[in-house]
Amino acid sequence: APASTAIIGAGIAGIACGLALKAHNLPVRLFDKARSPGGRMSSRRLKDARVDLGAQFFSVRDPSFHRQVIAWRKAGVVASWPDSLWEASESGWQRHQDDVERLIGVPRMSAVTRHLAEGLEVVSGTRIERLEPKGSQWWLVDQHDERHGPFDRVVIATPPPQSRALLLPHEPALADACEAIIQRPCWAAWACFDAPLPSLPGVDDDWQAVRLAADPGRSPAGDPLRFVSRNDHKPGRHGQGESLSLLARLEWSEEHLDLDTETAARRLLDAFREHLPAGVELPASTSLGAHLWRYAQPDVFAAGEAVNLDHRRSPAGLALCGDGWRGPRVEDAWLSGHHLGEALAADAP
């Protein structure tokens, strides 16, 4: 029989790996602890809005990723966004212009992974807690002590700090490699409003997103906000009420891990108010909340060369992929998973 593969983690990396194996007619099953696939490309469904709390957009540099994105465009699950990106600094709001192509999922970021996962067998709500070797194969054991398998190979497509615990009893050297990759946390908040945002002097009324420049008068850990987007100004979401996604600076997030979600959301919204011209008031908020991503982004500077590995494999049939092995973006995660899937297919019996 062809080699069977289990993939732990159905984020974009695990899914890309699964699709590469499936394209070679190899049996593959994915497991994710969350209710639906997507990982850090997920979106939250609120009463009045669909808000993106993970990746806000992604850019395209690599030719093979570019070919994928053309197919996703044809399927109607991505579109260009934002075309009205701003930068707010001490000298006010300025339109940001460059030649980088940026895309977003339609009608929400999670549409991309949802579409890709359609052709795959994904077991959701299943947290894999340990691996058990049996001869040359592997069993996966979940949070209810239920066993899945056996599989010839196991791909771990979770952030390296989470992969480490699964590997430690079997592959201490790979577990050490995971330890070298630091994933930094990030607070992500939402705020829904009972009316549209007011006009800002000198700014297009249809502004879609704004980057907040670091405040030179504050330490990064004391400067909360780095990016704000308007969810109702994203493709496929017109007609939903006004809502903002507010992403914190990583340094600030690291200093504020212990905040409760409501306080974190309030602090980020207050920080946004500080970037509005004097006299401009936000409408009343109808819903406010936040999510802490403990492993939001690999620290590419701390990881040094480790981050350029793309993916890792062991002779015993365990393998690792995900953004942590390549770089801090959706594109890196997809490439890492896709390349690992191709490599596994190339030497499948």
Does 208 sit near ligand FAD (CB under 6 A)? no
Residues 169-188, mask of contacts with ligand FAD (x by CB under 6 A): -----------------x-x
Pairing of strands 50-52, 58-59: unpaired
Interface with ligand FAD (CB under 6 A), residue from 6, 7, 55, 174: 55
Applying CB under 6 A, which part among 10-18, 169-177, 215-223, 341-349 lies near ligand FAD? 10-18
Tell me how far, at minimum, the Cβ of 301 lies from ligand FAD, in Å: 16
Interface with ligand FAD (CB under 6 A), residue from 61, 66, 95, 127: 127
- The angle, 0 to 180 degrees and rounded to 10, between the axes of the packed helices 160-167 and 172-179 is 160
Tell me how far, at minimum, the Cβ of 12 lies from ligand FAD, in Å: 5
Q: Which of residues 230-259 bind ligand FAD (CB under 6 A)?
A: 247
- Of the pair 4, 297, the CB lying nearest ligand FAD is at 297
- Of the pair 24, 102, the CB lying nearest ligand FAD is at 102
Residues 6+ apart with CB under 8 A from 149: 6, 134, 137, 138, 139, 140
**Residue 141 to residue 162: CA distance in whole angstroms:** 15
Does 341 sit near ligand FAD (CB under 6 A)? no
**Residue 247 to residue 226: CA distance in whole angstroms:** 6
- Of the pair 125, 198, the CB lying nearest ligand FAD is at 125
Tell me how far, at minimum, the Cβ of 322 lies from ligand FAD, in Å: 3
- Of the pair 23, 165, the CB lying nearest ligand FAD is at 165
Interface with ligand FAD (CB under 6 A), residue from 49, 128, 167, 290: 128
- Of the pair 107, 322, the CB lying nearest ligand FAD is at 322
- Of the pair 169, 202, the CB lying nearest ligand FAD is at 169
Q: Which of residues 130-159 bind ligand FAD (CB under 6 A)?
A: 157-159
Q: What is the 3-state secondary structure (H, E, C) of the chain?
A: CCCCEEEECCCHHHHHHHHHHHHCCCCEEEECCCCCCCHHHCEEECCCCEEECCCCCEECCCHHHHHHHHHHHHCCCEEECCCCEEEEECCEEEECCCCCCEEEECCCCCHHHHHHHCCCEEECCCCEEEEEEECCEEEEEECCCCEEEEECEEEECCCHHHHHHHHCCCCHHHHHHHHCCCEEEEEEEEEEECCCCCCCCCCCCCCCEEEECCCCCCCHHHCCEEEEEEHHHCCCCCCCCCEEEEEECHHHHHHCCCCCHHHHHHHHHHHHHHCCCCCCCCCCEEEEEEEEEEEEEECHHHHHHHHHCCCEECCCCEEECCHHHCCCCHHHHHHHHHHHHHHHHHCCC
Residues 303-322, mask of contacts with ligand FAD (x by CB under 6 A): -------------------x
Interface with ligand FAD (CB under 6 A), residue from 20, 288, 296, 340: 296
Residue 31: strand pairing partners: 8, 123
Interface with ligand FAD (CB under 6 A), residue from 5, 14, 164, 191: 14
Number of amino acids touching ligand FAD (CB under 6 A): 37
Does 293 sit near ligand FAD (CB under 6 A)? yes
Q: Which of residues 23-52 bind ligand FAD (CB under 6 A)?
A: 31-34, 39-41
Interface with ligand FAD (CB under 6 A), residue from 6, 7, 10, 88: 10
| Binding residues for ligand FAD (CB under 6 A) | 8-14, 31-34, 39-41, 54-58, 127-128, 157-159, 162, 186, 188, 247, 293, 296-297, 322-323, 328-330, 333
